[in-house]
Chain A
């Protein structure tokens, strides 16, 4: 393709950091629509070649805005975006060679499936024979062989979704952006499509930036997940990393279930610290770079809390009162009141001899300091 050759030549001339791994780079990118409220604030982000990266965050956190800036439909207020080391600020969307799947599909209603797919090829003046082959191949990829002559309005939601993906892929872009593409689908179809998307991305080896506010979807699909909140990047890590080692209060809350306890740092001892919660002192992993006297939030995953029939099993052990109890097959979900909180959740795996508890029982619960992370403190009311 003509424009792509030219882009490569210019790239060779303008390369800033010749880093093979980094494909897309946001550097200090900020965006405000009204000149006052930042929608994206000082974003630094690197996307590697062939990576599946998900932007995860609640509604209004600036995810779509990031995609739009990368696709060229919005200009950053500050900072630079580079693709292959080349700043793309002055490239119009059509020259960025990015495949885009819109949240509402944006399939052209006056064209058939085949015409929708051949659109990007025809505007690039690909010859008709080749176009036909590539359209057929793209339809095969999304398992819609033989749907060329259907009207897009005669397709089910999942089929429209797959056509949108095929259309974003048919001109063989190296980078594909998807903005909540599965938002409108029911649960079963979503799971099916997640698998399809992942399969296609792996097969083609393309770089994919995906937007969602569904943490489970992010976990299933991604190589890495970037968590957004209020226009700021909170943490970027593998799904496992996010779950096991949340670096911020928001991430811990947003990803999976967790118990939070508010306290004050009383003593710092290298990687661990002692936190006073009420009149108890808890030993925790020091994640937040706080000082003695700072407020902190302790985050403990429910499945990392154990029952301690005998004292001395955990470094942190407390008396708790069972408030409620739900049997969920593979585990018991127990709500206890402990340390001033009355909604502390404990998940007990359903193994032989887990010991029957009933509401009202007094039990000993506990956890190891490494499973208790001292994170930044935010008043509960400002949380989503």
Chain B
């Protein structure tokens, strides 16, 4: 090594130190970036239809979209559908087109079977024997849309938008809008949960931060024990407590506060979601708050009162501003966790207490529309990112204190 000023370890050592982080970098790449990337790419990239019907789609490019396409298009479609049927692809193909216009699955599958049997002279008649819908331009429009290799239609749907016949973007009719209202509701629920956590967590954190060390240790433990308990256990505990014949209702009835036939519905609705989520996320608020409050020496409050401030003034003008980094960190954490929360609403939310993530899960597991699920996830991703940017502008990410 040549002589050089002592400005840190030599390059080789630094390289070796960086090398030690390689497994982690690889792990993060493998377990996080790669799945995230594939998932997000699914929201804009779907080659299945395009690969199955290349010739048909090429011919459809010249089509005006209003009249029925000509015999060559029918012939190409019949040929390619037959191939798809042999490759056991017809069902999935039908499913893809079905997402563009409902009812298309059976049209495609029947068309494919008819093409394989070839009962009529022309391809057009053959397909129309399979299903008369083949004689309508709408079917061909659906195939053309589903055949786009790169598409924003998942995002359009996720934002309750659609293309009209002319191809321009319009909002869905009121009664078909699902995702935007759900997203708004999720944001509101997350906001409410954050607020509840702050209202409950602030005094708790204050109590712990100002308790004598021994008691503080116990109190911290009380906050952490639920934190260490399985999420499922905690959530089902709320079912035991809040259900119609649960502990709380029975107590209220026994005390004569509510009538036996007027038991309050506290679970399997929004109330259940709010209560259980607040409970689950409370430690994420308490811990950052506590770690900030612990560093605020008592002489600041003493100084405030010696300068003539009453309790309220000392709190709002001295204590609260000093705890802002903790408040902001806790709120950000709780809000971001709440916005993507899935298990708790799924278990105790009933039908009215479902959140955005439950919809993503539905499209992943039940409807198997991964493209749409990915688009919904992408939207969530953007919302969280935007929140972080706003936070950074307002508070500064460097002041984040996460415990």
- B237 proximity list for chain A (CB < 8 A): none
* Known A-B contacts A108-B318, A110-B322; A123 and B313 likewise in contact (beta carbons under 8 Å): yes
B303 pairs with A102, CB closer than 8 A: yes
Give which listed residue, A93, A97, A120, A123, contacts B302 with CB less than 8 A: A93
Determine if A123 and B318 form an interchain contact, defined as CB atoms under 8 angstroms apart: no
Q: Report the Cα distance A209→B318, complex, angstroms.
A: 26
A60 interface contact, C-beta 8 A: no
The residue in chain A whose Cβ has the minimal distance to the Cβ of B307 is: A120
Interfacial residues of chain B within 303-348, with CB under 8 A of chain A in the complex: 303-310, 313, 317-318, 321-322, 324
The reply to whether the CB of B300 lies closer than 8 angstroms to some CB of chain A is yes
Considering only CB atoms, which chain B residue lies closest to A167 in the complex?
B307
- Cα–Cα distance between A94 and B304 once the two chains are bound (Å): 8
Give the CA-CA distance A7 to B126 in the complex, in Å. 104
A106-B308 in contact given A119-B317, A123-B313 (Cβ < 8 Å): no
**Pair A100/B303 contact, Cβ less than 8 Å:** yes
Number of residues on chain A facing chain B (CB within 8 A): 24
A-B contacts, CB under 8 A, total: 61
Q: Does B14 contact A (CB under 8 A)?
A: no
Q: Name 20 extra pairs, CB < 8 A, besides A72-B306, A123-B313, A124-B308.
A: A73-B306, A92-B305, A93-B302, A93-B306, A94-B307, A96-B306, A97-B308, A98-B306, A99-B306, A100-B303, A102-B299, A106-B302, A106-B303, A108-B304, A109-B322, A110-B321, A119-B307, A119-B309, A119-B317, A171-B307
User: Shortest beta-carbon distance, A213 to chain B, in Å?
Assistant: 19
Secondary structure class of chain A's binding surface, majority of residues: loop
Query: A106, B309: Cβ atoms under 8 Å?
Result: no
A120–B299 CB distance below 8 A: no
Of the listed residues B307, B308, B317, the one surrounded by the most CB atoms of chain A closer than 10 A to its CB is B307
Q: In the complex, are the beta carbons of B322 and A123 less than 8 A apart?
A: no
Interface membership of A104, Cβ < 8 A = yes
B174 to chain A, nearest CB (A): 48
Q: Are A123 and B307 in contact (CB under 8 A)?
A: yes
1/0 per residue, CB under 8 A from B, across A106-148: the answer is 1011100000000110011000000000000000000000000
24 A–B pairs (Cβ distance < 8 Å), ordered by A? A72-B306, A73-B306, A93-B302, A93-B305, A94-B308, A94-B310, A97-B308, A98-B306, A100-B302, A100-B303, A100-B306, A102-B299, A102-B302, A102-B303, A104-B297, A104-B299, A106-B297, A108-B304, A109-B322, A110-B324, A120-B307, A120-B309, A171-B307, A171-B308
- Once bound together, how far apart are the Cα atoms of A306 and B62, in whole Å? 124
A residues 79-100 near B (Cβ < 8 Å) are 92-94, 96-100
Number of interface residues of B (CB under 8 A): 18
Shortest distance from the beta carbon of A32 to any chain B beta carbon, whole Å: 18
CA distance A106 to B307 in the complex (A): 11
Interface centre among B305, B310, B324, by most chain A C-beta atoms within 10 angstroms, is B305
Which residue, of A104, A110, A168, has the highest number of chain B Cβ atoms within 10 A?
A110
CA distance A243 to B321 in the complex (A): 49
Chain A residues, Cβ within 8 Å of B305:
72, 92-94
Q: Which residues does chain A contribute within 8 Å of B304, judged by CB atoms?
A: 108, 119
Which positions 47-72 of chain A face chain B at CB distance < 8 Å? 71-72
Which residues of chain B are within 8 angstroms of A108 by Cβ–Cβ distance? 300, 303-304, 318, 322
Q: Is the CB of B303 within 8 A of A71?
A: no
Which residues of A are interface residues toward B (Cβ below 8 A)? 71-73, 92-94, 96-100, 102, 104, 106, 108-110, 119-120, 123-124, 167-168, 171
On chain B, the residues within 8 Å of A167 by CB distance are 307
Q: Which residues of A contact B310 (CB under 8 A)?
A: 94, 123
- Contact residues in A for B318 (Cβ distance below 8 Å): 108
**Nearest Cβ distance between residue B232 and chain A, in whole angstroms?**
42
Partner of A94 from the list B297, B300, B309 (CB cut-off 8 Å) is B309
- A109: chain B residues at CB < 8 Å are 322
Q: Is the CB of B302 within 8 A of A73?
A: yes
Residues from chain B with a CB closer than 8 A to the CB of A100 are 302-303, 306-307
Q: What is the CB-to-nearest-CB distance from B396 to chain A, in angstroms, rounded to a whole number?
A: 13
Task: Give Cα distance in the complex from A93 to B302, angstroms.
Answer: 8
Q: In the complex the two chains form, what is the Cα distance from A104 to B298 in whole Å?
A: 12
A70 to B378, CA, bound (A): 62
Docked pose: A71 CA to B321 CA in angstroms: 25
Interfacial chain A residues near B297, Cβ < 8 Å: 104, 106
CB of A123 within 8 A of CB of B308, answer yes
* Distance of B38 from chain A, by nearest CB (Å): 46
A96 to B300, CA, bound (A): 18
Q: How far is the CA of A248 from the CA of B262 in the complex (A)?
A: 82
- What are the residues of chain A within 8 A of B300 when measuring CB–CB? 106, 108
B317 CB contacts on chain A under 8 angstroms: 119, 123
Q: Which residues of B contact A94 (CB under 8 A)?
A: 305-310
In the complex, what distance in Å separates the CA atom of A73 from the CA atom of B307? 13
Residues 208-258 of B contacting A (Cβ, < 8 Å): none
Q: Is the CB of A120 within 8 A of B308?
A: yes
Q: Of B304, B313, B321, which is in contact with the most chain A CB atoms at under 10 Å from its CB?
A: B304
Docked Cα-Cα span, A94 to B317, in Å, equals 15
Assembly CA distance A98 to B306 (angstroms): 7
Min CB distance A332 to B, Å, is 47
Q: Give the docked Cα–Cα distance between A110 and B317 (Å).
A: 10
B392 → chain A, closest Cβ, in Å? 19
Q: Is the CB of B309 within 8 A of A71?
A: no
| Nearest chain B CB to A81 CB, angstrom units | 15
Closest to B303 in A: A106
Of all chain B residues, the one with the shortest Cβ separation from A177 is: B306
Instruction: List 7 A-B pairs, minimum CB-CB distance, nearest first.
Output: A106-B303, A120-B307, A100-B306, A123-B309, A106-B299, A93-B305, A110-B321
Chain B residues, CB < 8 A from A92:
305
Chain A residues with Cβ under 8 A from B324's Cβ?
110
Distance of A322 Cα from B203 Cα, bound (Å) = 70
Residues of B within 8 A of A72 (CB): 305-306
In the complex, what's the smallest C-beta–C-beta distance from A135 to chain B, in angstroms?
Answer: 13
CB distance from A178 to the nearest CB of B (A): 12
Complex-state Cα separation, A123 to B313, whole angstroms:
7
Of all chain B residues, the one with the shortest Cβ separation from A124 is: B308
Q: Could you tell me the distance in whole angstroms from the C-beta of A138 to the nearest C-beta in chain B?
A: 13
CB nearest neighbor in A for B324: A110
**Identity of the chain B residue whose Cβ is nearest the Cβ of A179 in the assembled complex:** B299
Q: Which residues of A contact B313 (CB under 8 A)?
A: 123
